[in-house]
Amino acid sequence: MMRLRSILFNLGMWIMIIPFALLTLLLIPMKAPRRSRIIAGWARLICRWLALTCKLRYRVIGQENIPSQPCVILAKHQSAWETIAFQEIFPPQIWVMKRSLLLIPFFGWALWALKSIAIDRGAGREALKQLVAQGHDRLQLGLSVVVFPEGTRVQPGQTGKYHIGGAWLATHTGATVVPVAHNAGEYWRRNSLLKRPGVITVSIGTPIDASGMKADALNKMVETWIETEMPRLNSL
């Protein structure tokens, strides 16, 4: 039954991607935050479809920590779930992602239209320069920037290397940083068809003022908070 529910969810999700991707292209002339709010309707539909088909919901702890102004969101990365649900949880946003995602039909087109920051991970300091330049632009447009410091999805109980890019962006723009932990990987695993029923817990930490901080110190502070919070999530 779980497999059938998961297949039904995936079919519905991909069907819903197509019209919303086309809508995203049509809305390009619109101001970025308003366009992001409209397209976040897709995320709300997907989250409700997930709850209906797979009985998988979520709850948020620390929602009062979300700043009213654009910020840099540094989050744990375990699943595809957070790339969907964060659009509903947080204010208008874009993501920092690998460039190859732009090649995915419809989904990649929507990412491009939403002004996501697509970087070449092998470009070293050039990628950091691009991240700061484009990240500053997006923040000025009124968009928060979501960065997954580990770069790729990691299995529950594991910790990937926290790359410095997100902290570098925050310290070079003076943006507020919001650390986020969640246990989505317990229910929606990396490269897995199955979605287990349950309640995903998202924990939003106290905002950090990055002004005057060194990127490596900020990166370590975020890593420490997230990885300390992770073991608590299943008991909260």
**Per-domain residue ranges for the chain?**
2-235
- How would you write the pLDDT of the chain (236 residues) with one tens digit per residue? 888 999 899 999 989 989 988 888 888 888 888 888 888 889 999 999 999 999 999 999 999 999 999 999 999 999 999 999 999 999 999 999 888 888 888 888 888 888 899 887 766 778 888 999 999 999 999 999 999 999 899 999 999 999 999 999 999 999 999 999 999 999 999 888 899 999 999 999 999 999 999 999 999 999 999 999 999 997 77
Main-chain phi, psi angles of 58, to 5 degrees: -145, 160
- Are the CB atoms for 154 and 134 separated by under 8 Å? no
Q: What is the structure's pLDDT at 230?
A: 96
Is 3.40.1130 the CATH number for 2-235? yes
What six digits make up the tokens of 151?
């770069």
**What is the predicted pLDDT for the residue at 102?**
85
Cβ within 8 Å of residue 229, ≥6 positions away: 181, 203, 205
Return the pLDDT at 123: 65
Predicted pLDDT at 228 = 96
> What's the pLDDT score for residue 73?
98
Alpha-helical runs (H) found in 141-214? 165-173
**According to the model, what pLDDT value does residue 128 have?**
86
Q: Kindly provide the b/e burial profile for residues 71-96, where b requires at least 16 CB atoms within 10 angstroms of the residue's own CB.
A: bbbbbbbbbbbbbbbbbbbbbbbbbb
Strands 117-119 and 144-147: unpaired
